Structure 1
Amino acid sequence: MTRTADLGRVHFIGIGGAGMSGIARILLARGAAVSGSDAKDSASVAQLREAGAQVWIGHHAENVDDVDTVVVSSAIRPNNPELQCARERGLRVLHRSEALASAMAQDTVVAVAGTHGKTTTTAMIAVVLRGAGLDPSFAVGGNVPALGVNAAAGSSGIFVAEADESDGSFLNYRPRIEVLTNAEPDHLDHYGTAEAVMAAFTAFIGLLPPEGLLVACADDEGALALAEQAEAAGKRVVGYGRAASARVRLIGTDLEFDGPTGRRSLPLELQVPGEHNALNAAAAFAVATELGVAPETALAGLAGFTGADRRFQLKGEASGVRVFDDYAHHPTELRAALAAARTVASGHRVLVLFQPHLFSRTREFATEFGQALGLADAAVVLDVFPAREDPIPGVDGGLITATDPALVFQPDREAAIALLAAQARPGDIVLTIGAGDVTEAGQALLLALRAAGTPAAGGGSHGG
């Protein structure tokens, strides 16, 4: 495996992205010369410049002059001028996961994988380890307020990394501890079939060394099946969840686990809502105690965890209505976010502005998205955020709303915001949900709510 010292001068195409900026920050901290380019300026770009990176706005072939290694993500298209130039010159081109693997080649690696919950679980582990006096390196797929950044180089020799399965790149890591939050079909644009998705997770578990540990959710059918495979292959496994078989078991609001003298139970207190976050916390607890953190210390760290950006993040309140933002972009994630919203709304209504992410995912899961949105009292669906994909004929947000007449398809974002602001009443929650630029709608919603001033009258409910 290539190590940081062997990379030479490293150039990141799309350096401002959440994953790319984090890896660039770690390489800078570990002494690498780093440059990069991005389509637009941003806070991430400014921070990287302050840390010593040279960053250009716009992609041009001359940006890779005097470069030894070029780093790309799956979002970078083959016709990108910098990537074309790098290949023509025979430069080393690494996927971002390979660059991250280089950065953690000498560390004890904790890799957090799963279809959902990776970012929050990775963030929880990093926060708990830091609170316990360890100084882990970490790379998280979103900014973590408690950590100040989404990635950093620590001094403890422990590296906590979010392992992205979307393009199979998580198979580039060599972890000693793996967390598997869940496993179900997604990213079929890459894998093609559900069987191929599960085969990739099986290969991921196969990366564990003989002394390694798999921490797997015992409540998830896919993760449980993979854990059973791992145990059959002689791997050490710790299950977590509410299942009776879980070694780290949630019972009510308590966490039961193995202590030196037998089973123990301590209260699990969290600031982040939802059953999915209780499961994420159980996984983080299992990892922390495996690394020598005292149970009480781990639980104290989890009690202080305030979340990661775009994970049920409060954007503000106006006219008695709270606006939250969430990154959910799969039907299971959507259901989990709406279940959490129900607990926070305390009997008031939950309104949703949802932006589907990827044409292929919208096509595959339109019915499931519609069913999940049925848990809201009102839901408006925007058009698809394409990300890395070209349009697919006949696929738009209306494919989802066609599954339920109570759902509204409104591709005009301003009109959608006005519609929700007019319906919202004091005490209600409005959620902007999706992995695209719907996150920008939060502030516009707050402005619209303030402008509306007075609560709307009437209005029915749906699915509540």
Structure 2
Amino acid sequence: MRDKTGVCIAGTHGKTTTTGMVAFALRELAADPSFVIGGEVPQLGGGSGAGKSEYLVAEACEYDRSFLNLFPKCAVINNIEEDHLDYYKDLDEIIGAFRDFALRLPADGLLIYSANSANTARILSDVPCRTVSCALEREADYWADDIRFENGKSYYTLHHDGKPETVSVALDTFGRHNVINSLVAIALLTELGFDPAKAAEAVGNFRGVDRRFDIVYDKDITIVDDYAHHPTEIRTVLKSSKAYFDGRRMVVVFQPHQHSRTRFLMRDFAASFQFADLVIVPDIYFVRDSEQERAMVHAKDLVRAIIKNGGNAVYIPSFTEIEQFLTNNLGAGDVL
């Protein structure tokens, strides 16, 4: 990365999709980047590739502070929230890690950030380089309004630096989370010197990352695969799904990832399923935690918390049993 124009995309949520958007758009704009993405992008032929241009686009993950091993010239921070509390002590320590990441930018570098994220604002005073803000439905260096969703697509008007000229953006991806993902991507590309209208068109043609609102079956019922594993991500994708599927009955199978994450964020998880008609919870996926941590929380605890929060949930231990339950209980028009 030291020998390239390093572009790093960071944030608690949205970094995989945004990295994919930027890499794809650069290729569409004939800039042929190298890229490293934490997900499979069909339009790029996978999650990594070696290009011929100066650009190296990389997803920058905050877990175990691994993003502090990178040397970006430009960076994006989409948002900062509590996560990876098996590694970090608390939110303040997480914010400190993102501050250290931003401090790696050179004086002639660039930081693009979402002004909708209050925690991101806490690191800006220490950033050694130029910063550019992005926001939804409020003024910033780049901001979006007239946001609407139709037929599985997203549309908005892009404003830039108070200029009278605007850009109409049409995305092949759906939801407010993809509006902010695309907004920071277009801002980054524009700051790199690309025409904003052409950048918007390139980003608009991006169709997404595998397992991000991935419709894998769509006949009598619809089956959607999504990687959302944090309460904010779950709430966002379920809210978007409710709108996308026009209020159809929505059954969610959610396997919690990590006992520690489930325990630390239990209250937020319980509130994140408000748009689901039924939540099925199997045993928690055991990874990175100690046996002691494993003994401190059970999937049944999450089911009880969801029900206490006004939701409808059931614990079914194994996927074999879940498959049988779904076979007997899903009906025409349901969304899984």
TM-score (norm 2): 0.91
State the Cα deviation string for residues 411-434 of structure 1 (Å, max 9, x = none): 12122233234333333321xxxx
Q: Give 1:257 shift.
A: 3.1
2:35 to 126, 138, 147: 138
Q: Give 1:379 shift.
A: 0.8
Q: What amino acid is aligned across from residue 332 of structure 1 in structure 2? A: T
1:107 and 1:224 mapped to 2: Cα distance? Answer: 28
Q: What amino acid is aligned across from residue 286 of structure 1 in structure 2? A: A
1:282-321 aligned at under 5 Å gives the runs: 282-318=183-219, 320-321=220-221
Q: Give 1:225 shift.
A: 2.6
1:251 to 124, 127, 145: 145
Structure-2 residue corresponding to 1:187 = 84
2:330 to 416, 424, 427: 424
Structure-1 residue corresponding to 2:24 = 127
State the Cα deviation string for residues 146-169 of structure 1 (Å, max 9, x = none): 111100011111011000101101
Q: Give 1:234 shift.
A: 5.2
Q: Give 1:245 shift.
A: 3.5
**2:174 matches 1:280:** no
Instruction: Select the structure with the greater relative contact order (CA < 8 A; seq sep ≥ 6).
Output: 2
CA RMSD between the two structures = 1.6
1:134 and 1:281 mapped to 2: Cα distance? Answer: 18
Structure-2 residue corresponding to 1:236 = 130
**2:268 matches 1:368:** yes
Q: What amino acid is aligned across from residue 428 of structure 1 in structure 2? A: D
1:412 to 306, 318, 328: 318
1:387 and 1:144 mapped to 2: Cα distance? Answer: 25
Q: Give 1:142 shift.
A: 0.4
Contact persistence 1:335–1:373 (CA under 8 A): yes
Q: What amino acid is aligned across from residue 80 of structure 2 in structure 1? A: A
2:137 and 2:272 mapped to 1: Cα distance? Answer: 24
Give 5+ residue unaligned stretches, structure 2. 148-155
**Which of structures 1 and 2 has the bigger CA Rg?**
1
1:224 and 1:357 mapped to 2: Cα distance? Answer: 29
Point out the more displaced range, 242-251 or 308-317: 242-251
Q: Give 1:247 shift.
A: 1.3
2:133 and 2:326 mapped to 1: Cα distance? Answer: 42
2:87 and 2:93 mapped to 1: Cα distance? Answer: 9
1:5-404 aligned at under 5 Å gives the runs: 104-227=1-124, 229-230=125-126, 233=127, 235-253=129-147, 254-258=156-160, 262-318=163-219, 320-391=220-291, 392-404=294-306
State the Cα deviation string for residues 120-146 of structure 1 (Å, max 9, x = none): 000000011100111100000001011
Contact persistence 2:231–2:272 (CA under 8 A): yes
Q: Give 1:360 shift.
A: 0.6
Structure-2 residue corresponding to 1:86 = none
Q: Secondary structure at the match of 1:373?
A: coil
Q: Give 1:208 shift.
A: 1.0
Q: How many pairs were matched up?
A: 322
Q: Give 1:266 shift.
A: 1.7
Q: Secondary structure at the match of 2:122?
A: helix
Contact persistence 1:345–1:427 (CA under 8 A): no
Q: Give 1:295 shift.
A: 1.4
Q: Give 1:344 shift.
A: 1.5
Contact persistence 1:255–1:282 (CA under 8 A): no
After superposition, the Cα gap between the structure-2 partners of 1:176 and 1:263, relative to the gap in structure 1 and judged at 3 Å, is farther
2:8 and 2:137 mapped to 1: Cα distance? Answer: 23
Contact persistence 1:345–1:428 (CA under 8 A): no
Q: Give 1:243 shift.
A: 5.0
Give 5+ residue unaligned stretches, structure 1. 1-103, 431-464
State the Cα deviation string for residues 389-410 of structure 1 (Å, max 9, x = none): 2342131211211113321111
After superposition, the Cα gap between the structure-2 partners of 1:423 and 1:409, relative to the gap in structure 1 and judged at 3 Å, is same
1:256 and 1:404 mapped to 2: Cα distance? Answer: 38
Q: Secondary structure at the match of 2:173?
A: coil
2:329 and 2:130 mapped to 1: Cα distance? Answer: 52
TM-score (norm 1): 0.67
Structure-1 residue corresponding to 2:150 = none
Q: What amino acid is aligned across from residue 310 of structure 1 in structure 2? A: R
2:195 and 2:332 mapped to 1: Cα distance? Answer: 43
1:145 and 1:339 mapped to 2: Cα distance? Answer: 25
Contact persistence 1:248–1:255 (CA under 8 A): no
1:200 and 1:326 mapped to 2: Cα distance? Answer: 27
Contact persistence 1:216–1:237 (CA under 8 A): yes
Q: Give 1:190 shift.
A: 0.8
Q: Give 1:263 shift.
A: 3.7
Q: Give 1:347 shift.
A: 2.1
2:194 and 2:183 mapped to 1: Cα distance? Answer: 14
Q: What amino acid is aligned across from residue 118 of structure 1 in structure 2? A: K
Q: Secondary structure at the match of 2:94?
A: helix
Q: What amino acid is aligned across from residue 273 of structure 1 in structure 2? A: F
Structure-2 residue corresponding to 1:98 = none
1:241 and 1:296 mapped to 2: Cα distance? Answer: 18
After superposition, the Cα gap between the structure-2 partners of 1:224 and 1:421, relative to the gap in structure 1 and judged at 3 Å, is farther
State the Cα deviation string for residues 209-268 of structure 1 (Å, max 9, x = none): 1111111011111123333x24xx553111112152421111023233337x92422222
2:174 and 2:303 mapped to 1: Cα distance? Answer: 27
Q: Secondary structure at the match of 2:166?
A: strand
1:280 and 1:346 mapped to 2: Cα distance? Answer: 23
